[in-house]
Amino acid sequence: VAMAHLAWRLAQRWCQSSLQVISFPVVQLHLNRTAMRASQKDFENAMNQVKLLKKDPGNEVKLKLYSLYKQATEGPCNMPKPGVFDLINKAKWDAWNALGSLPKETARQNYVDLVSSLSSSLESSSQVEPGTDRKSTGYETLMVTSEDGITKIMLNRPTKKNALNVEMYHEIMHALKAASKDDSAITVLTGNGDYYSSGNDLTNFTDIPPGGVEEKAKNGAILLREFVGCFIDFPKPLIAVVNGPAVGISVTLLGLFDAVYASDRATFHTPFSHLGQSPEGCSSYTFPKIMSPAKATEMLVFGKKLTAGEACAQGLVTEVFPDSTFQKEVWTRLKAFAKLPPNAMRISKEIIRNREKEKLHAVNAEECSVLQGRWLSDECMNAVVNFLSRKSKL
Ligand SMILES: CCCCCCCCCCC/C=C/C(=O)SCCNC(=O)CCNC(=O)[C@H](O)C(C)(C)COP(=O)(O)OP(=O)(O)OC[C@H]1O[C@@H](n2cnc3c(N)ncnc32)[C@H](O)[C@@H]1OP(=O)(O)O
């Protein structure tokens, strides 16, 4: 029932979004322009231009592009309608089917016009931080820089409060593996914008593969286990610079960091019971050790949100700084740490961590297996539906 509800809510959102795209004046103008005819060459150029877009145009526009491409190359929709739970393919099918008997040539022209309007609007509205060449980092969801002996991995989805989508999980693993081998002495994880991170991106639950929700949950557990494993095994000092509120997995992982510096604007929230979920990131083991079993229960079971001061008093945070001087003070300190002999720091971390490694991996495996079951529960599904349908926030 919860899944059907979820599918229905998403279908409603897709519908609304598609309507918005179609009624968007610039696009509408282009859709109405049938007098000009794009050549096959124009069409191929437009396809290449899409690959070069610097900014993701968003799902609605991608759906429009998809449907026009299919109509231009294959004509009216000729695929069987996907099942209700196959949300992505269903949305694509709906978009293509909605074009009805639009002639191939018109679809081709509309595709070329849409790409041309995107190329100009997305180029001019690109909001890349000054001095940052995103291409040089090769990451879509992170900004990774290395200087003064410090590799900084910055979560970079500020408009989504740095929620971790599947791509971000993969990119963080990649960035950690690269940082473990680069010349830097220490590695820092932080967030861009007002949040450190709002935790797992709840839309990760919506893209159901052909194998159904069970397959999704199984793959999610495999991904999570590998992801947390990278933090357990990370060989250099790993420091969290918590610039703002932190939620869910971005909090639990802090137990695996070597130091945690927080702005006094930061909060620490693990609302797993509210979400029908259970703790991960080895927090079922690290939190009781760090802050006592009862305090860990308040956070992990009852979802108590801590201020930075409270988190520091309980040992989860190393030190709190006023937000106004946070960046300056923390980075001055980190630069000094990074000048220490790197091999000595590695070896010291190794003897602290090695005693615990086997246990941490076992805890990680157990937490992922429990979560796999939780993700299939009505409690979890309802919580995700409520968030996606904007009925609830934390
Ligand atoms: C079977 C699945 C497999 C998945 C793959 C593996 C996954 C491993 C999972 C590990 C387990 C992790 C658990 C957790 O992390 S639990 C915590 C989850 N996080 C939340 O529940 C937070 C939800 N967000 C909120 O409650 C609010 O957004 C928040 C309080 C954070 C901020 O509120 P505010 O009003 O200030 O801002 P907005 O809500 O307007 O947010 C701005 C936009 O950002 C989007 N957003 C924010 N957080 C999330 C999120 N976690 N997931 C998805 N989207 C998020 C929000 O929707 C807004 O977007 P729009 O502007 O497009 O509306």
Q: Decide if 224 contacts 368 (C-beta within 8 A).
A: yes
Domains held by the chain: number: 2
Query: Which residue puts its alpha carbon closest to atom 19 of ligand 1?
Result: 199
Most confident of 36-45, 76-85, 295-304: 295-304
In a domain, 321, yes or no: yes
Query: Which residue puts its alpha carbon closest to atom 52 of ligand 1?
Result: 201
Check whether residue 161 and residue 196 sit in a common domain.
yes
What is the DSSP code string of 244-255?
Answer: S-EETHHHHGGG
Share of the chain above pLDDT 70, in %: 83
Residues 333 and 336: their CA atoms lie apart, in Å, by 5
Predicted local confidence at residue 124, as pLDDT = 32
Check whether residue 347 and residue 295 sit in a common domain.
yes
Check whether residue 182 and residue 287 sit in a common domain.
yes
Check whether residue 97 and residue 226 sit in a common domain.
no
Q: How far is the CA of 141 from the centre of ligand 1 (A)?
A: 15
Q: Predicted confidence band at 254 (pLDDT cuts at 50, 70, 90)?
A: very high
Residues 177 and 139: their CA atoms lie apart, in Å, by 14
Query: Which residue puts its alpha carbon closest to atom 41 of ligand 1?
Result: 160
Q: How far is the CA of 278 from the centre of ligand 1 (A)?
A: 16
pLDDT per residue as tens digits for the range 7-33: 555 544 444 444 333 322 222 223 333
- Choice among 8-12, 158-162, 199-203, 301-305 with the minimum mean pLDDT: 8-12
Nearest atom within ligand 1 for CA of residue 252: 15
In a domain, 226, yes or no: yes
Check whether residue 230 and residue 89 sit in a common domain.
no
- Choice among 54-68, 138-152, 168-182 with the minimum mean pLDDT: 54-68
Higher pLDDT, 66 or 192: 192
Query: Which residue puts its alpha carbon closest to atom 4 of ligand 1?
Result: 220
Q: E strands along the chain, which residues?
A: 142-147, 150-155, 186-191, 238-242, 246-247, 259-263, 267-269, 306-307, 319-321
Q: In a 3-state reduction of DSSP, which class is residue 236? A: coil
290, pLDDT greater than 50: yes
- Asked casually if ipTM beats, i.e. exceeds, 0.95, the reply is yes
Check whether residue 182 and residue 279 sit in a common domain.
yes
In a domain, 317, yes or no: yes
| Domain harbouring 243, CATH code | 3.90.226.10
Residues 180 and 184: their CA atoms lie apart, in Å, by 8
Which residue do the tokens 């599904």 mark? 381
Q: How far is the CA of 189 from the centre of ligand 1 (A)?
A: 19
Higher pLDDT, 115 or 57: 115
- Choice among 15-29, 31-45, 152-166, 193-207 with the minimum mean pLDDT: 15-29
Check whether residue 149 and residue 248 sit in a common domain.
yes
Q: What are the beta bridge partners of residue 147? A: 150
Q: How far is the CA of 285 from the centre of ligand 1 (A)?
A: 25
Residues 271 and 383: their CA atoms lie apart, in Å, by 11
Q: How far is the CA of 60 from the centre of ligand 1 (A)?
A: 20
Query: Which residue puts its alpha carbon closest to atom 31 of ligand 1?
Result: 198
Q: How far is the CA of 160 from the centre of ligand 1 (A)?
A: 7
Q: Decide if 238 contacts 189 (C-beta within 8 A).
A: yes
Answer with the one of 54, 86, 118 that is the final residue of a domain: 118
245, pLDDT greater than 50: yes
Residues 60 and 15: their CA atoms lie apart, in Å, by 10
Q: Predicted confidence band at 137 (pLDDT cuts at 50, 70, 90)?
A: low
Check whether residue 105 and residue 201 sit in a common domain.
no
Mean pLDDT of the chain: 86
In a domain, 33, yes or no: no
Residues 261 and 246: their CA atoms lie apart, in Å, by 12
Nearest atom within ligand 1 for CA of residue 272: 16
Query: Which residue puts its alpha carbon closest to atom 54 of ligand 1?
Result: 201
Check whether residue 322 and residue 357 sit in a common domain.
yes
Residues 248 and 380: their CA atoms lie apart, in Å, by 14
**First-to-final CA distance of the chain:** 23
Q: How far is the CA of 198 from the centre of ligand 1 (A)?
A: 5
Q: What is the pTM of this model?
A: 0.73
Domain range enclosing 45: 40-118
Q: Return the best residue to mutate from 17, 87, 161, 278 for the ligand 1 pocket (most ligand atoms within 8 A of CB).
A: 161
Q: In a 3-state reduction of DSSP, which class is residue 110? A: helix
Answer with the one of 84, 118, 152 that is the final residue of a domain: 118
312, pLDDT greater than 80: yes
195, pLDDT greater than 80: yes
Residues 81 and 140: their CA atoms lie apart, in Å, by 32
- Region 241-255: mean pLDDT is 98
57, pLDDT greater than 90: no
Higher pLDDT, 218 or 60: 218
pLDDT per residue as tens digits for the range 321-378: 999 999 999 999 999 999 999 999 999 999 999 999 999 999 999 999 999 999 999 9
Predicted local confidence at residue 32, as pLDDT = 34
Q: How far is the CA of 200 from the centre of ligand 1 (A)?
A: 6
90, pLDDT greater than 90: no
Q: Predicted confidence band at 120 (pLDDT cuts at 50, 70, 90)?
A: low
Q: Of 254, 293, 292, whose CA–CA distance to 270 is shortest? A: 254
- The H-or-E segment that residue 368 falls in is helix 342-375
Check whether residue 112 and residue 257 sit in a common domain.
no
Nearest atom within ligand 1 for CA of residue 393: 26
| Domain harbouring 104, CATH code | 1.20.80.10
Nearest atom within ligand 1 for CA of residue 392: 26
In a domain, 211, yes or no: yes
Higher pLDDT, 1 or 365: 365
Q: Predicted confidence band at 317 (pLDDT cuts at 50, 70, 90)?
A: very high
Higher pLDDT, 154 or 31: 154
225, pLDDT greater than 80: yes
128, pLDDT greater than 80: no
Q: Return the best residue to mutate from 200, 222, 284 for the ligand 1 pocket (most ligand atoms within 8 A of CB).
A: 200
Q: Predicted confidence band at 56 (pLDDT cuts at 50, 70, 90)?
A: low
Which residue do the tokens 């000595």 mark? 344
In a domain, 74, yes or no: yes
Which residues line ligand 1 at a C-beta cut-off of 6 Å? 160-161, 163, 166, 198-205, 216-217, 220, 223-224, 247-249, 275, 277, 280, 375, 387, 393-394
